[in-house]
Structure formats: structure tokens, C-alpha cells
Chain A
Amino acid sequence: KAGVTQTPRYLIKTRGQQVTLSCSPISGHRSVSWYQQTPGQGLQFLFEYFSETQRNKGNFPGRFSGRQFSNSRSEMNVSTLELGDSALYLCASSRSNPGQGAEAFFGQGTRLTVV
């Protein structure tokens, strides 16, 4: 079956612009989580959605937002981009809760470069 699909794979944006990243989970998966990966900070949790509801949020400024649609596809948006937002953004999907043993599958990520 198809894995987690993230689009686009690569993106270059200018400071001050906004960007929208997309994640299509594995069919049947209702939980989608987003992470930011940088060499200096590692993998940091952004937020998690389940059935269109945000259930938890990491420690990121309000410029980072997300949403989930009724088909479980999710988008994340970053407004007023800063150079420090350059990172690999990863999305993971699972059937329900990873804490209940529902394995989380990651996409290949979107590499965002802010210039």
C-alpha cells in the first residue's frame, strides 16, 4: 500500500513569505503528526491531528499552524518565514495513538530553505 506522501519535496522561499506543506497519510490512518528536523535541534514535535482536531501542540510560535481535512490529509502553514525556519519538515501517520502501539509511519519530508 502507498506510504505517507509529502509534497512538495523541496521548497525555496524568501524571508517574510508564507508556505503551505501537504501530507497525505496512509489510507485508513486518522492521526497525523508534524515534526521539524534541523541539525542543531534534532526532531521537534510541532502538532498532532486526529479526526480534524488538534490534540497536542509543541512549543512553536503561532506562525506555525496546521489543519486536517475530513479525508485525514493534513497541511501545515508557516507564515512570515524566517531564516531559522529552514529545515526538513516531516509528517507521520498512524491508525490511532502511537502510545497504544499504533506504529507511526513517516514520509520522506519536505525540505524548506528560506533565503
Chain B
Amino acid sequence: GENVEQHPSTLSVQEGDSAVIKCTYSDSASNYFPWYKQELGKGPQLIIDIRSNVGEKKDQRIAVTLNKTAKHFSLHITETQPEDSAVYFCAAVTGGFKTIFGAGTRLFVKA
């Protein structure tokens, strides 16, 4: 079946450093790739997304890259801050309405 692999499961960085989270998807029909941030006690919140016809997208300190050939996409957070500490999920959406999530990455930003 479809799956999304996400690495690493835990990431610890120093404040100001960059963080990179990588995901690989299996369903070549996936055409939309959102990234979510989940803080304790809250539902996931969309932070950035990319569609299959775009290779890269940036929003301030956050960027996402997509390699359709390799079925690989990554989240890059620059100049990390303590408030970036959370669990991050990648996802692959197929057919517009079936979303498969990665297992999540717990990011710790040390002040």
C-alpha cells in the first residue's frame, strides 16, 4: 500500500542552526505535499505545502523541495528558534482527498 517514510524521528539543533527533515513517498500518483507542525495538545497546523509541478517553495525561514523522480521531498528550517520545537509531519496526498502522513519528526531547538 501507499506509505510515506520520514527521517529523522528525532532532531536536536542549536538555536540559529538549520534543520532538515526528509520524506520519501511510494505512490507516484501523489500530487500534493503538505507539511504540518503539531504542538502539544493541539491539532497539526499546515506550515508549508508544495504541488507536484513545483520543485521548490520558500516562506520566510521555511522551505520545501520536491524531487518527483526520486519521490523525495524535504523541509528546511533556517535560523531555528526555540518556538520551532514541535513535531513535524510530512504528508503525500493522492487523488485530492487521501492523505498519507509520515511518522513525524520531533524537533528540539536548544537555546
Contact = CB atoms under 8 A, between A and B. Distances in A.
Interface in A42-66: 42-45, 48, 50, 55-56, 58-59
Interface of A: 4, 31, 33, 35, 42-45, 48, 50, 55-56, 58-59, 90, 92, 96-101, 103-109
A56 B43 contact: no
A99 B96 contact: yes
Dominant secondary structure at the B interface: strand
B67 to A, nearest CB: 19
Contact of B97 (A50, A103, A106): A50
Contacts of A96: 96
A56 B32 contact: no
B44 A97 contact: no
Contacts of A33: 97, 99
Nearest to A9: B41
A56 B32 CA distance: 16
Contact of B34 (A48, A58, A104): A104
B101 A42 contact: yes
